[in-house]
Structure 1
Amino acid sequence: MATSARSQTQVYELRVYEIGFFRSADVLHTYFENALIPALNRQGAKNVGVFEEMGESLPKKVYLLIPHKDIVTFQDSERKLFDDETYLKDADPYLTADQATIPFNRISTSLVHSTKEFPELTVPNSAGIYELRIYESHNEGALKNKLRMFEDEFSIFADAGLNMVFYGKNIYGDHMPCLTYMLANTDLNDNKEGWSKFVNHPRLEEIDVHGGIQR
């Protein structure tokens, strides 16, 4: 788990690509692998993640997670892409594709600002599944309390074997006000076992009582 000694926070760009029915996402994955992610790496964005939902839910979604150093780095990123000749060459099949070739209907984007309590994305040593969770609050005051409660629970997540990948407050996107975090585990069984340990952890009730938060 990240520690408070690491003071540099990050801004996470979370894109959700909604794939059209019966469309293959291969074009998108090829673009990510051959053009976009290498270009983002050249900009200094490391540990870019691509995820697909498990199961048969429709419409299918592909998630792209980009850690930026700060909001200015995020704002400059697209301009730098189109100033990058290598990117333009590698991305040409995607950028010049017609509408029938592009597999997604739309892209939704959220921005998440990490906190000093968990400032940087942490890459797990081994993970078979990732769990993305979004907690909405009814107003900004409730979200502030929710953030404080979660920060008290970081050690409980670790005790339960639920490995935190990133965590933060959403500063742009849908479902506002809200916080977003991601967990990693080896498989569904370990994930289920981890949540069982979490909800039965002896410190959890104490945090809920003193925080005054409705779970």
Structure 2
Amino acid sequence: MNSKIIFFICSLFLYMSSLAQSEIYELRVYDMKFGVSEATLHDYFKDALIPALNREGLNKVGAFEESGESLPKKIYLLIPYESMQAYAEINDKIEQDGKFLSDSEAFSNLPVDKIPFERYESRLIRSTWGFPNLVKPDDALNQFELRIYESSNEDALRRKLKMFNENEFEIFENVGLHTVFFGKNISGGQMPSLTYMLAFKDKAEHEKAWAGFGKNPEWKRISKLDEYTNTVSDITRVFLKTLPYSQL
């Protein structure tokens, strides 16, 4: 068999294998209404939605709010799925889950003026081979940094993903940047883009780790490579803290 054909088949196999092993993360961002109690949303998450997800085997559901006092307030929900198929199947099951429907009845029947959020955005993120699985951080790491890297086009994003997969995760580990999840955005706003989350104990640890990253010799080397120039056009950074019922 022609060597080019063999190479193509092997490359295709590796690509399909990586897709099969990819986790899917749903990141929901709720824009809260000013002056309306948010307690009903927290009760819905804590007593209805998260228990329903747990019954389907999803036991690392993260719930966060922003560390600052920004307005409008935002609530973040992170739901990890084993695959895109699991995402579809589990959501279908929950819609027919009698206990979930019963537990969420009070929230579902709220008067319009008592619904605590305006809208929520749902983003789907697919993990990559360099960091394929969400990692639950140690309990002491209860502060989080969410980062979204936008790229000017798909090629720039491809190159930035390659940079992470082949180099940056190892540097992160070496300097003490604790990755929770990482992936390529496949739906939602700010496309094309990637999203990842870091966990840290406090601001001092966070600043020390990022300073070490900037000084790292390997980072200095790869950041100067032509292949990785102009890969990021904008960065969104949000600091989060866990809500009491979060499982991360």
**Structure 2 length as normaliser, TM-score?**
0.81
| Alpha-carbon distance in 2 for matches of 1:174, 1:75 | 20
Deviation (angstroms), 1:164: 0.1
RMSD: 1.5
Deviation (angstroms), 1:34: 0.6
Deviation (angstroms), 1:59: 0.7
| Consecutive unaligned residues in structure 2, runs of 5 or more | 1-19, 233-248
Counterpart in 2 of 1:83? 96
Which of 121, 129, 142 is residue 143 of structure 2 equivalent to?
A: 129
Deviations 1:7-49 (A, max 9, x none): 8320000000000113332111111111100101111222000
Please say which of residues 12-21 and 87-96 is displaced more in the overlay: 87-96
SS at match of 2:71: coil
| Consecutive unaligned residues in structure 1, runs of 5 or more | 1-6
SS at match of 1:44: coil
Counterpart in 2 of 1:54? 67
Q: Does 1:174 align with 2:186?
A: no
Report the AA paired with residue 102 of structure 1: I
Distance 1:99 1:186, change over 3 A: same
Which of 21, 40, 53 is residue 53 of structure 2 equivalent to?
A: 40
Q: Does 1:155 align with 2:170?
A: yes
Deviations 1:148-169 (A, max 9, x none): 1122110111112110000000
| Alpha-carbon distance in 1 for matches of 2:67, 2:36 | 16
Counterpart in 1 of 2:159? 145
Q: How many residues align?
A: 210
Which of 73, 77, 80 is residue 67 of structure 1 equivalent to?
A: 80
**Structure 1 length as normaliser, TM-score?**
0.93
Runs of 4+ in 1 over 6 A off after TM superposition: none
Counterpart in 2 of 1:3? none
Q: Does 1:204 align with 2:219?
A: yes
Aligned residues of 1:149 and 1:213 also touching (Cα < 8 A): no
Look at both structures and tell me which one has the larger radius of gyration over its CA atoms. 2
Aligned residues of 1:53 and 1:62 also touching (Cα < 8 A): yes
In terms of fraction of residues, the more helix-rich structure is 2
Report the AA paired with residue 136 of structure 1: E
| Alpha-carbon distance in 2 for matches of 1:77, 1:98 | 28
